[in-house]
Structure 1
Amino acid sequence: METEIRFTHKSLVENSKSGDRNSQYQLYELYVDAMYNIGMRFLGCKEDAEDVVQDSFIDAFKNLHKFKYESTFGAWLKRIVINKCINHLKVKRLPLSTINDHEFHLTEEVAYERVAAVDILKVKTGIEKLPQGYRQIINLYLLEGFDHNEISEVLGITTSTSKSQYHRAKKKLVEIINTL
């Protein structure tokens, strides 16, 4: 089954590798909306998200020869988009601050109960209201499924900073949601 998933769009990918513009357009149409949503979650600005997605597709098509079906095409492209979003944010130099371990002791059960009881629109609104650094960690960890080691690698921070930022972001998200 997993092999089938990896090769779902193999003919489109292979034709695109050969320079077939029609196949490239079909791949673009299949993935542009999902990649735009990722860009919006990270950047929060329509124009920035559109630019990053376009740049991501250009890079993907230029480097398609490097795609070896070790994952799905969508997962490979998603990684490109996420990396471009992160690089875009780094250019803006949005800082992540470190905190001491004792500053983020939360009662996990209470935080999760509060968030679980709130409707999804409040959660989405709350994420949008988070400071950019917090939103970035929440997006990577909760929405994109990265673990703290991957986040630390992608953002160029320590694993403990990733964990502390996540806990701080989660606490802030609960505060925001409780005021909505």
Structure 2
Amino acid sequence: MEKQYQNIHQKLIDLCREGNQKAQFQLYKLYYRSMYSVSLRIVNDDAEAEDVMQEAFLKAFKKMDTYKGEVSFGAWLKKIVVNSSLDHLKKKRAQLVEMDESVNALPEENEAPGEVDVAQIQKAIRSLPDGYRTVLSLYLIEGYDHDEISQILGVSNSASRTQYSRAKNKLRELLKEKKIFLYN
């Protein structure tokens, strides 16, 4: 028998399973910020991340009976948000024509060379191609390992590792152009 995860919000989860809208709203308020951040790191657009997150919550509330308590509710919800975000990217790619890379170029700003600015690093990450940004975010920020990433994205483990390596190199290159040097 699998071990059940003890959720601190188990009463809310149980009420949500019964369709209680007030409980759903309370659970939404508890998780929306972190789930929005997860989606934003993948889809790279504020409005789209908001839409994806909303849809993910709706999916979660509809599929609440599939939550077995083997992991935390937050981890279960995060997986839904990640998958919804990736599905959104796939749909978006199917609709868009390849855009000129100059659109993603970082704007020049007046700043001291070598100064580490978190906002610039975030901007550089957002300017990475979708595949690079997705693998980098899933690995570094969301904490997935390459086996999990390969399952989520439907690619081989080595493809995940290669994308991650290329993403790190591209990010270093972008930061070097901006004269921001990171250690490691």
TM-score range normalised by the length of the shorter chain = 0.7 to 0.9
1:71 and 1:42 map into 2 onto residues whose CA distance is 22
Query: Partner of 1:73 in structure 2?
Result: 73
2:36 and 2:5 map into 1 onto residues whose CA distance is 22
- For normalisation by structure 2, the TM-score amounts to 0.79
1:42 CA displacement? 0.6
Query: Partner of 2:47 in structure 1?
Result: 47
2:163 and 2:22 map into 1 onto residues whose CA distance is 43
Query: Partner of 1:102 in structure 2?
Result: none
Counting matched residue pairs gives 156
| Partner SS for 2:119 | helix
Query: Partner of 1:20 in structure 2?
Result: 20
1:118 CA displacement? 3.9
1:119 CA displacement? 4.4
| Partner SS for 1:69 | coil
Query: Partner of 1:144 in structure 2?
Result: 142
Per-residue CA deviation, residues 129-170 of structure 1 (Å, 9 max, x unaligned), is 111111011011111111111111111111111111110100
2:6 and 2:116 map into 1 onto residues whose CA distance is 36
1:62 and 1:45 map into 2 onto residues whose CA distance is 26
1:89 and 1:70 map into 2 onto residues whose CA distance is 28
Query: Partner of 1:173 in structure 2?
Result: 171
1:86 CA displacement? 0.8
- Give 5+ residue unaligned stretches, structure 1: 95-116
1:79 and 1:6 map into 2 onto residues whose CA distance is 18
The answer to whether the 8 A contact 1:44-1:128 is kept is: yes
- Give 5+ residue unaligned stretches, structure 2: 95-114, 179-184
Query: Partner of 2:132 in structure 1?
Result: 134
1:92 CA displacement? 2.7
Query: Partner of 1:103 in structure 2?
Result: none
Question: For 1:1-16, what aligned pairs fall within 5 Å after superposition?
Answer: 6-16=6-16
Query: Partner of 2:88 in structure 1?
Result: 88
- For normalisation by structure 1, the TM-score amounts to 0.80
2:4 and 2:119 map into 1 onto residues whose CA distance is 35
1:60 CA displacement? 0.5
2:5 and 2:147 map into 1 onto residues whose CA distance is 26
The answer to whether the 8 A contact 2:4-2:69 is kept is: no
Partner AA of 1:33 in structure 2: R
Query: Partner of 1:98 in structure 2?
Result: none
Per-residue CA deviation, residues 39-92 of structure 1 (Å, 9 max, x unaligned), is 111111122111111111111001111111111111110000000111111223
| Partner SS for 1:168 | helix
2:122 and 2:6 map into 1 onto residues whose CA distance is 31
| Partner SS for 1:93 | helix
1:5 CA displacement? 7.3
